[in-house]
Structure 1
Amino acid sequence: MAEARKSAKSAAKKPVKKTAAKSAKPEKKEKGNRYQFEGKNLQTENIVRGEVVAKNEDEARQKLARRSIKVMQLTKMKKARAKKITQADITIFTRQLSTMMKAGLPMMQAFDIVAKGNPNANMTNLLMDIRNRVEQGESLGDSFAEHPAYFDKFYCNLVAAGEAGGVLEGLLDKLATYKEKTQAIKKKVKGALTYPIAVMVVAVALILVMMMFVLPSFKKIYEGLGAELPGLTQWMMNASDFFVEKGWIIIPGLILGTWGLIQFHKHSFAFQKRVDSWLLKMPIFGEIVMKATIARWSRTTATLFTAGVPLVEVLDSVAGACGNIIYEEATHEIRSKVNQGISLTSGMQSANVFPNMVVQMASIGEESGALDDMLNKVAEFYEEEVDTAVATLSSLMEPIIMVVLGSIVGVILVAMYLPLFSMGDAIG
């Protein structure tokens, strides 16, 4: 590992190039159906398998005959659907490529198998473009860097370090493990936040329906009876009148306001920073977000450091990968201090965003020369903490949300039926 780290340092110091790759022209796509075949090569007498594109089965057989292949089996393949490429797709691809290369398959063949077997047409095109660039002489790291929407600086730097150190298979395995763990932790945090938000949306929708459609029916009944309404009922009826008159403005306003807020968050750095800060300070949720961020920060730092990337370069990549602007700015501050010769531990301590345990573990790692191992232990500890916190939160949130939602609906129902109870008392 030490030799791989030393041999990778020279390549890792250089930022990953983003060349235009003019020589790698996009592959011209054939129109038609894809057929998977198994046949006998009449020239070599060998059994061959592969794919051919043709309009129909007869044309496929003719194409194969021109290649001196006697068809034994021909199967029409289902057309891949073009879907949006997600980070989950990139994670699965990384694991598949790592597994195949560790099994001894050449990289080009591994790319072919993964690309052509992918059910997402967009993913297939992306992987075939990367394969073509590598075939034209580009490095794998540079080829990935041509698609920054899917492969970030951290991913490209790690691949480049693996190529330079001759340990690409091992680093792809570590990269796949890293992405699987970070995806899992992100999914858990999103799941913890999604449930209460979804229930709140349903509650708001339910209240709007009751205010705009149910209460007006009761109002007509009470007006016909000419009874004096109790204070709570009158207040509810006034609120219902407001929703009936303004509801068709309120509902589109809520939808547009939510969409506008999401867009503003995407394009405003100051607002993103405020939201990230607010998330960290939230009761209960804030602790989960903090632990998830530290777990990701620790695992990213450990993975890059294991690859032999210099610490300054590591921190530069980690800043953009930690997923929270508060920690991103803190990492930039730590990087600046490390660049001046100050230790990582001192930088982390002065940043004031890491718990004492994390700082102490990093300090032990620096002193013993096992920083990557210590940070991996920190990541594992906080990932387990997030698992426990999310499980506890889920069990607590369900009854709390049901009580709150039931109380709101209960007050509305009491307000609707209260005049009937009053009339019954008067008659009695």
Structure 2
Amino acid sequence: MAAFQYTGRHADGSAATGRVEALNKAAVASQLLDQGITPVKVELATQDKEDLKSRKRGQIRLFEKVSVDEMIMFSRQMASLTRAGVPITNGMRGLANTIRNPLLQSSLNKIADDLERGNSLSTTLSKHPKLFNNLYVSMIHVGENTGQLDQSFTQMASYLDLERKTARSIKQATRYPMFVIIAISIALGVINVFVIPAFKSVFDSFGGNMPWQTRVLIAISDFTVNWWHLIIGVLIALIFLFVRWRKTDEGHRKWDRVKLRFPLVGGIFYRAILGRFARTFSVVLKAGIPIEQGLLIVSRAMGNVYIGEKVAEMRKGIERGEGFSATAHRNGMFSPLVMQMLAVGEETGRVDEMLEDVANFYEEEVEYDLQNLSSVIEPILIVAIGIMVLVLALGVFLPLWELSTTING
């Protein structure tokens, strides 16, 4: 239920104003007519003080966003409501009253307002790109035209759930290596800023020539201590320039391409993106979207500009009359085994089913690689820690050993 303010006329012509609660504007008009009031203007009521405070707090949140979990829950709830025959506007209003996220709540209320003005659901969702990407909007558009809106919401809930599981697997696999790398970096910083200067005073007090390893460590430490503000400034400037370059179209495309070539994890990123492509394209084709339009939708939903351009090139090849498997082979995106599967699917007219199998294939590979990622990175980290200990031993303890030997001798 939402609150509405109205202005109207009584039967005797006198003015009437007030506030009522109803599901939509049509329900308000019906209530007023039953009371003998002819509505002139009906609009959503101004939020009360608590709502205004909540809205202001929401405006302060610069990084406010809607999580994948909330979008999955929203999609499942909408699927249940539409399957039960509840009007879309009523469903949106009802969900908005039960959701705590201010951004999602306000967006659902705006969507309900647009629906009451006669706009289609897919058109309305496209006005909120932070919540609903091109794939989501296209799937809802297909559901509207085919009368299977509940299935569209169900498919998107399943798709988002798979995306969430993949993201969680990647985070779990990289959590330990990142923790170790951060710990090593902190340890090096503490040693460089506090430990080495303390040893330097000891070395200077005894005099004598120090090993070159020790002189290198002391030189690095002196530079860090004396020019720490310059180092921090350069790092901040580099990060700023990188972020600015990353936001440009060319920078975005190059960075997405470089990510796929990272040692150890680049191949995992690449297979994960291919799995997303196959899964997304399978969902699109099963929804009845033409293959050319489907490729255009998928190219914008890849999350990687470089791969998205390759998918767009496939669309151009199909528009020229080439087969799907032929264009995929020319792009070199898939392995020979996957290409055979796609060729069989094209010959049998079951490309959507074969794409689903391809998605399962890549997702299994990604899951296996993620499970083994820690075992691959651990030896590298051990070697890095060993090198750090060796350098410290040579640079710090070697002169102490020589000094001890001299004193004892």
Is the contact between residue 81 and residue 120 of structure 1 (CA under 8 Å) also seen in structure 2? no
CA distance, structure 2, for counterparts of residue 322 and residue 185 of structure 1:
14
CA distance, structure 1, for counterparts of residue 294 and residue 389 of structure 2:
53
2:136 — aligned with what? 155
2:234 — aligned with what? 253
CA distance, structure 2, for counterparts of residue 362 and residue 27 of structure 1:
53
SS in 1 for 2:284: helix
Cα displacement (A) at 1:28: 4.6
1:358 — aligned with what? 338
Is the contact between residue 80 and residue 120 of structure 1 (CA under 8 Å) also seen in structure 2? no
Q: Please identify, of 285-294 and 409-418, the stretch whose mean Cα deviation from structure 2 is larger.
A: 409-418
1:322 — aligned with what? 302
CA distance, structure 2, for counterparts of residue 80 and residue 365 of structure 1:
54
CA distance, structure 2, for counterparts of residue 259 and residue 236 of structure 1:
30
The answer to whether structure 1 residue 165 and structure 2 residue 146 are counterparts is: yes
CA distance, structure 2, for counterparts of residue 245 and residue 139 of structure 1:
64
The answer to whether structure 1 residue 32 and structure 2 residue 67 are counterparts is: no
Letter in 1 for 2:131: Y
Among 185, 208, 217, the residue aligned to 2:166? 185
For normalisation by structure 2, the TM-score amounts to 0.81
Is the contact between residue 189 and residue 288 of structure 1 (CA under 8 Å) also seen in structure 2? no
For normalisation by structure 1, the TM-score amounts to 0.77
Cα displacement (A) at 1:414: 4.2
Among 228, 231, 247, the residue aligned to 1:266? 247
2:354 — aligned with what? 374
SS in 2 for 1:281: coil
Cα displacement (A) at 1:402: 4.0
Is the contact between residue 87 and residue 150 of structure 1 (CA under 8 Å) also seen in structure 2? no
Letter in 2 for 1:390: L
The answer to whether structure 1 residue 174 and structure 2 residue 155 are counterparts is: yes
Q: Please identify, of 415-424 and 172-181, the stretch whose mean Cα deviation from structure 2 is larger.
A: 415-424
What are the within-5 Å matches in structure 2 for residues 306-317 of structure 1?
Answer: 306-317=286-297
2:381 — aligned with what? 401
SS in 1 for 2:260: helix
The answer to whether structure 1 residue 226 and structure 2 residue 243 are counterparts is: no
Q: Please identify, of 92-101 and 376-385, the stretch whose mean Cα deviation from structure 2 is larger.
A: 92-101
CA distance, structure 1, for counterparts of residue 298 and residue 145 of structure 2:
20
Unaligned runs of 5+ in 2: 1-41
Is the contact between residue 81 and residue 119 of structure 1 (CA under 8 Å) also seen in structure 2? no
Cα displacement (A) at 1:90: 2.7
Unaligned runs of 5+ in 1: 1-24, 35-52, 56-77
Cα displacement (A) at 1:195: 5.2
1:292 — aligned with what? 272
Change (3 A) 1:192 1:251: farther
CA distance, structure 1, for counterparts of residue 73 and residue 374 of structure 2:
28
1:111 — aligned with what? 92
CA distance, structure 2, for counterparts of residue 120 and residue 80 of structure 1:
14
Structure with bigger RCO (C-alpha 8 Å, 6+ apart)? 1
Is the contact between residue 288 and residue 386 of structure 1 (CA under 8 Å) also seen in structure 2? yes
CA distance, structure 1, for counterparts of residue 122 and residue 67 of structure 2:
18
After superposition, the C-alpha distances for 1:121-151 in whole angstroms (9 at most, x for unaligned) are 1210011111121122111101101112322
Change (3 A) 1:159 1:348: same
Cα displacement (A) at 1:190: 5.2
Cα displacement (A) at 1:191: 5.1
Is the contact between residue 254 and residue 306 of structure 2 (CA under 8 Å) also seen in structure 1? no
Cα displacement (A) at 1:357: 2.2
- How many pairs align? 362
SS in 2 for 1:284: coil
Cα displacement (A) at 1:256: 3.2
CA RMSD across the alignment: 2.6
Is the contact between residue 314 and residue 324 of structure 2 (CA under 8 Å) also seen in structure 1? yes
Cα displacement (A) at 1:252: 3.1
1:59 — aligned with what? none
SS in 2 for 1:146: coil
Percentage of identical aligned residues = 28
Q: Please identify, of 109-118 and 297-306, the stretch whose mean Cα deviation from structure 2 is larger.
A: 109-118
Letter in 1 for 2:352: D
2:281 — aligned with what? 301
